[in-house]
Structure formats: structure tokens, C-alpha cells
Structure 1
Amino acid sequence: MRQPIMYISIISLVLLAACSFLASANGTTVSQEVKEYSEYDLDMKSEILEFEEYHITIHYPETPNTQINQTIIDYVNQIKSKFKQESYQAMQVMKSHSSHELHVDFEVLHESEQYFVIHFDETMDVGYPDISKSRTIMNFKKENGQRLETEDLFNQEVDYLQALADLTNEKLEEEFGKEINQNSFLEKATAPLPSNYQNVAINSGGVTIFFRDGVQPEEISLKMDNINEFLHPEITVVENEALHEATPSIEGLKSININGEDVKRPHGENKKIALTFDDGPHPQKTLDILEVLERYDAKGTFFMLGKRVSYYPETAQEVVTEGHEIGNHTWNHPCLTRLSKDEVVRQIQATKEIIQHVTGEETTRVRLPFGENLSAPYYGTMEIVPWDVSVETWRKENPRQIADTFISEINDGDIVLLHDLEGSTPEVLDMILASLSYEGYEFVTLSQLEEK
């Protein structure tokens, strides 16, 4: 698997042996050969859409397994459809017209020779006081790409729900004391109901049960020794066999302060514009942009997502090697106005740290997702960078129309916004630079624009 950069700790990996022993349905122990599957080389896909009515940010993995990919794409399409429907319905009954948001991020919880496990975090804000937060766990068999639901993991001939409830309560009592089971809210969340055990994830030592949103603790792990007799005969979890456990998160990072001052915007005799690119890096599209910039001896500033930097560190490094600047665009592109101050800090600090770790460059500028303003004052050294010229109808116009719109609106000293993940960006950029070069423009980084 393409490993996201993990710079806090190193995980020891032990590979699965060529054979394992499975218990057959009638209880007979048989030897079954297990095919070897290498660790997945993952790509990280990001869909970022901004409309007046709503914002959508969805990150998901793409694997070498087409069946797994199709299941994930179906899930993405379903959650987008659900959000759009609920957003439309909310707009019909509510007076507020603030933009709604769907934000979905993922974490690879576990990968072994046999299984691939993903955790999706979902946030849906359609204007109601309570923001909807949920999660979806997907366990896959790598051999055939089959998604394993909870009922597929456990033996249907036993009351596995009652067994899970009993083991969960025992584990909670062991870790938190007897008082924990007197919590009526938690008692309901651990009752032997299918809805309480929808999100069960295979791990290297057994399974992890994730409770519904609002329940504390959020999860509990059960060891293989405790659940083995309740597992489906075809499910085998070999302890410590993980090829990969958990991608990096933004938790536990030290604080950083930022302010609300805009970047300086001087104007002078020599015509200059600052080219900026959001939402990358992308392993191919960002490189295509770099090729266009090189042809025109142009420089730019790339506002990168920390999570994408962790997946594509070589691309981030190439941007710096080519003489361009890197800015901070948060870790995973949420609407910051719905986050607490500490959550905003973590979004920016995690990105600052991964960029410095990968490139050696310390970022001093941040561009907020969707061009938002922060809901509370922040003070410090990070400049918040807006833009002057952008095109909001990328998907409705052809590259020539998009380029003409940019060219007609750009003036000396402007900050121009383009996006790494848009497939037409290299072509549009080529047209813009060809036209404005003829008019005598120079294409610079934000730092160079400030020097003007």
C-alpha cells in the first residue's frame, strides 16, 4: 500500500505465513492454503465541490481491486445523494440560507494478507442545530473484493449479538470499572441489537466495535481469544499479521496560532500576478501543472491538504524542487466555521508539520477551505490568503471558455486561484499564460508578489 507518511511512530509489521488452519462448519480442523496478497498501493481520491447552496468534500481510497473500488464508489454516490436530498428538504422548511456541508474522510484501519478495512467519518450539516455525525466501517476480503457485513463475520448458528453485547460490557467494566455499565445511554448502545453492531472492524488481534455517535467511549476492542468461538468458520484473524494499521490522524498535535490579516497586495509598474493552486498534491495533475509553469518560466504557490501530502510526498517535494512555494490548506478540507478552536488548530498544525517533514519548508500562509472566515479571532504569524480571480463554473464550461473568463478578469497584482484536482487545469493554465505573457505579465509566487 502507498504508505501515508507516519512521522510520530513506526509500526512493526509481521507477514502472514503461507498457510493457515481453518475450522470447517462441522468442527473438523482442515488445512487450507491461503493465497499471498501484497500490500495495496493506494491512491487517495478527493472530490471537492463548492456551490452557493452547499459544499461537498469527500476523500476515499482507490485500491488495485476493482470490486472494492466499485463498492466504495457506490457508497460515495449514495451518501452524496442522501445529502443533496436532505439539503433540499431542509431549505424548503428553514429560513436560513447558509451553505450546507457534507464532509467525508477515511482511515485505513487494518490491512493484512486477507483483509482490507476502512473507516469512513461522515459529517452532514443541513442547517439544523444538531450536526449529523456518523461512521461507516467496511471490511473487505482481498481475494475477491467481497464486503463483509457484521453478519458475515460471525456464526449465524449462535446468538452472536448477545455474545458481542456480553463481551463488550465485560470489556467496558474491565477498562472503566463497574460504574460504566450503570450508564443508561451506554447500556442502550451495547444492547444485543443489529443496529448497535453495524460497525465492527477486523484488526490484527480480533475486532474493534465502534459505537454510534455521541457514545463514550467511541470504541472497544475484543481479542481473538474471546470471540473465536463466535466467528464464522471462514473468518480467520491471525494475531499480529497486519501489513498496515491505521493511517495518520490530526489528533494530539501541539497548538498553533493564526491571524485574520490578508496577504499584502502591492501594485507597481511591472505587471505581476500570483498563481495559486488549491487542494493538491495530485501524483499526475500537479506534475502536469509544473510542466506548464516551466514552459513559461512561471512560479506559483500551491496550497496543499496535509492528508494528500502524506499520500504523495514525492509530488510535494517536486513542487519545492522546481522553485515554487507551498501553503497550508488544512488537513482534509472541512468547513472550519463548524469546528472548535482546538479542531481548527489541529487542522492547520498537522498540515504545517507534514509539509515541513516532507519538504523541509515551513509554511507561513494558509488558505481556508471554501474561502471562509474564521468564526473566532486567532492571533499569530500565519497569513490568511484570499484570492481575486477564480471561476466557479469549471464543470459547465470548456477549457477555452474558462481561460477567457480568467483572462478578462485578471488585473495587475491579482491573486489567481486554480485547482490541482481539476483535469482541465493544465490546459486552462497554458492558455492563460500564453495570453498574459503576450501582454507582458510576470507569473510569481505570493512572496514575490509582496516584494513588488
Structure 2
Amino acid sequence: KYNENLTVKDETKGNVEVQELIPTDASGNPIEAIATEMDALKQEVLEKYAGATKKTLIFFKAYQTKIISNVNDIHYYVSVYQQKESGFEQLEFKELSHQLVFVDTLQPFEIAKLFNNELAVSNFFVKKALDAGKANGLSDEQTAKVTAQFMDGNWKKLDASIIQNGVRVKYKDASDQDAEWTIPFTELFAYMNENMIPETEKDNYEAYLATVKEKLGKKRIALSFDDRPRAETTPKVLEILKKYNAHATFYIVGSHVEGNESIVKQIVAEGHELGDHSYSHPLLTKKSADEVYQEVHKTSDLIAKASGGLRPMSLRPPYGGFNKMVSEQAGIAIVNWSIDSLDWKYRDAAKTIEHIKETAHNGGILLMHDIHEESVEALPAVIEYLQAEGYELVTVTELMADQPLKSNYVYFDRVENKPVQ
């Protein structure tokens, strides 16, 4: 909604005529904070045209848009016209700046307040940059220049504004040129705080919630693989998953990332999900808080470096061992399982298949390992059986209808998930 209550201020200096249009408050007075900001922004423009030898008209205008309850986006524009033989010609029209502010206080509003999971938003932007880099044929180094602007919360430092149907984010492309993305709210609903959904998007949001409900009702099992990547087996697992159009979450041991970076990239490129399985595979509940932090975050750093910037959204603690301390130090969701293939115990493809047949259930999280040849041998028959039973095989996040997993929560399956006590 545009604020139509404006005050006009005219000024003439030599050949330059200046007009300012500033929004007013309820009493009809210029809003002081906006007027002050405009005074600062206009100086460079006035200096540029101070010596104009021809009649020059400069219009400064500030207007407010209210997209979200109690939040305004204030835009500052300038347009410049100069007299020519045929009349006035426009020399400039540009946005000088914009501010997101709370309506009642005019204090800054940070774009991060829109969202309920900053890590998920970082991964969203990084994935978008990775996909764009691939589509545009950029090198890894060129793509990395873009992804670095969005990793680890760096997106919060970018110039972002709320527009009519989404969020506009300005950044530097691989050539250091100004670029921007306009992202519809419909792509961001999964990460947004519900009280930040604009009124104009309520119908779209209701449709999104209906889609979430539909996905949560689908017959699905989340496949998950622990303990590597391993050059001898993980690529075989990926080939099988691709053949059967199945997705999985891979819980990576940090000490095995080095030398297997291409496999980590392949996992992402083929639509799978990365998880954290600690650096050295200890029982985390027997470690100190600092040791747990290092185990988890060192692995996260290695995965992010190998994947191009994506960080794990969940931790699979070795041996399933967790407590509140482990959860707090991890800072991400704990994901265990409800279907244990026992492939690590049997080391026998036939027994693994039979056990999965006996324990598979809708909404379950299936634990397997991508380090054993016997597990790889069993995988095609496991997938064929589950798909014949009507199951769609998905990542853990897909099992949860693409909603970000919550930190300080533990997930055993689609239904059994709760805060860590």
C-alpha cells in the first residue's frame, strides 16, 4: 500500500530546482526519520548537478509499502530532468536506498525475522546459486564467489527488500556485477514465521498447508545411509538409487570426506540429502560438550566445503546415542531411525532383505550403511520390495513434507518426533 499523504518541499539553487516528497505522520508533519535519511541520501546527487549550466529539475521521493503487518519498506528514489532544445530530457531515475522498518517505531526490521530457520534459508540460497552456476556453465570457483555471499547467514548482510509477492535480494554475480533474485513467497513458506505471511498471500499459504498435509499422508519411507562416503561402495549405491528413482539421506563421517569430495558433490547433484555423522564416529554421550561440538561442526565444515556450501540440517549420532547436551552442541536436529536393517549385523543380503520386509512401516526412517558390499547387494531387492508395496523412497526432509527439521528435536519417524529433554 502506497502512503499518499506526502509533504512537498521546494528549493532552487541557480539552475537547479529541487522538490522533495516525504511521507507524513498522522498529524500531517513530515516523518522525521525519513526526512533525515533523505537529506543524507540526496547530497551526492545535489553535488553532481551543483554546477549545471542548464535548467535542471531534481525530484526526490520517499514512499512506503506495507506488505507485512507492522512492517514497512521505505524506498528512496531520485529522478533528474534537464532542459534541452526539444524540452526536458530524463537523465536519471534510480532507487537511492530502501529501509525495512517497524511501522510504529521506525526501527530497522531485519529480513531474517521473516524466517524460523536461518540454516535452512542459507541452504535454500546456496542451492539456488549452485543450480544457477550449473545452468550457466560456471566453474566451481566462479560459483563459489556467489555461494559465499549466502553461506553461514551471510545472506542477512545483503540488500534485501520485501516486494508485492516475495523477497528481492541483491548480490554480486560471478563477475562482480550487480545482480538480484526475486523469490516468490510461495518458495519461502516452508521457512517463514506464520505471523509474517502477508495478507495478500493468505490463500497461497493455505494452499501450501494443504500440500504439506497431502505429503504427510503419502505412503513414504526415508532411506538413510550411515558411515562414509566410501569410493568402493557409495557410487554403487547412488547408481542403484538413480535407477529406481529413489532418494536418500547420507550421514557422512567427517574423517572420510577428504579424497571423496566428488562423491559428496554427486550426492547433492542427484537430489539426495547430506547429514552429519560426526568426525570420528564416537559415542557422543561419553564426550565433553566441547568435544561434541568439534565432532559435529568440524564435519559440517568439511561437508560444506565439499558440497559447495550446503550444511547438514540433521545429525545422526553414532550408535543412536544422544542426550540434551549432544543436541545443544549440535545445534541441528537429531535423526535416528525406526527401521533398522541390521545390515551391519547380518552382513548378509538375504537376511537384510527379510528383516526389512518384517519391520517396514509407513512414515519410517530406514537405517542402512553404504560401507558394506552386502548392503549394496541387498539394496535393489529392498527398493523393489518397498516400491511394490506402494512406498515412495525419499530423504528425511522429504518425509517431513519438505519442512525444515527443527533443532533440539529428535526424529525417529514421521510421527515420533519431539523436543530433546
Q: Same fold (TM over 0.5)?
A: no
* Bigger helix share: 2
Normalising to structure 2: TM-score of the pair? 0.43
Flag the structure with more relative contact order, 1 or 2, with Cα contacts below 8 A and sequence separation at least 6: 1
Normalising to structure 1: TM-score of the pair? 0.40
